[in-house]
Amino acid sequence: MKKNSLTLITGLMFLAISSIGNPVFAGSEKFDEKMQPILTEYLKMVEILASDKTEGVADAANKIGGLAGNLSPALVTGEHASHYKNIPKNISEGIKKMALVKDIASLIAALVDLSKPMVMWASMSKLSGINVIYCSMNPGSWLQKGANIRNPYYGSKMLSCGQIISGPDAKK
């Protein structure tokens, strides 16, 4: 990825992340409701990979794949609807990558791609109890509940590596 593209993506993510928990993107309630079961399965995958395991990741990925097929950005109304436009497609693409691999290293690499639209969505929506964590070593972000960091990218090697950048447990 070119430096300019990375700078642009980082800037957009910062803008979105800085608004987490704020009703900045009103009109996304129906979309957010459809995303909740996807979030549940995503959080399962994050926890499994943080535990250095793979069993259950494929099941969660299959569920997300089915749920993402019913997700439409048309559910978002208002002036900020365009911000949600690519989230369903990007979730589906991330899940397809996960479905093609079985080893933990490849699943972790695919999780990075899946986490991007998940973090973008979480940053724009009002999510209760969800933190956005960033690991500069990977680098990548992910979502999780609670302040006890459990890094899915490094598992037991660097389980607590990361920083809560937004959410209820972020240091203000």
Spans of the chain below 70 pLDDT: 1-26, 126
Residues of the domain holding 116: 3-127
- Mean pLDDT (the chain, rounded): 86
For 120-157, letters b (16+ CB in 10 Å) and e give bbbbbbbbeebbbbbbeebebbbbbbeeebbbbbbbee
CA–CA separation, 120 vs 115, rounded Å? 8
CB neighbours of residue 85 within 10 Å: 12
Q: Is residue 157 part of a domain?
A: no
Residue 154 in any domain: the answer is no
Assign residue 119 the CATH number of its domain.
1.20.120
Domain count, the chain: 1
> What's the confidence (pLDDT) of residue 25?
60
Quick check: is 9 in a domain? yes
**In this structure, what DSSP letter does residue 146 have?**
S
Give the per-residue pLDDT at 85. 93
Q: Is 142 within the bounds of a domain? A: no
Q: What is the pLDDT of residue 19?
A: 42
